[in-house]
Amino acid sequence: MSGQADGPPIGLRHRATLAVDESLTVPGLAGTFPPFRDMPPVLATTCLVAFVEATCIEALRPYLEPHQRTVGIHVDLGHTAATPIGMRIAAEVELIAVDGRRLRFRVQCRDDVEVIGAGFHDRAIVDAPKFVARAQAKARRPA
């Protein structure tokens, strides 16, 4: 299953940082979601979730075969404090459970001042070519 002998180990930890700019704010997403246009210019929850996912992907990369990827399957993350443009955020993830292809991470996110979010994120290991083929077949099915 894995690029390293036994797959990702329980206790695997990874940390990443990111600078918050306008594109990561709630109004920065207004091109896709127009109601966000007049919201406060702070880190969007959707961007926090994407950052957590990216951090988990980075943590797992050394443990996967070349044809494998991981996909997000569940997010349970509280976003408890606002982060303005110009601050940095950090995500710290720890792999706390492996059940076959399902992986569970404990997550904590901080900005330059405080904890801004915490919770859990689950991912599943997939065979990327097979996964893409199934998605493409689904797109060809009549509605």
- Catalytic one among 25, 55, 70, 79? 79
- Catalytic one among 53, 55, 70, 121? 53
- Catalytic one among 17, 22, 45, 74? 45
Token couple for 67:
């044809």
For the beta sheet containing 13-19, the strands, ordered from the edge strand earlier in sequence to the opposite edge, are 13-19, 88-99, 102-110, 115-127, 68-79
**Is residue 53 annotated as a catalytic residue, yes or no?**
yes
**Is residue 25 annotated as a catalytic residue, yes or no?**
no
Residue 109 phi/psi, 5-degree rounding, is -120, 140
**Is residue 14 annotated as a catalytic residue, yes or no?**
no
Active site residues: 45, 53, 79
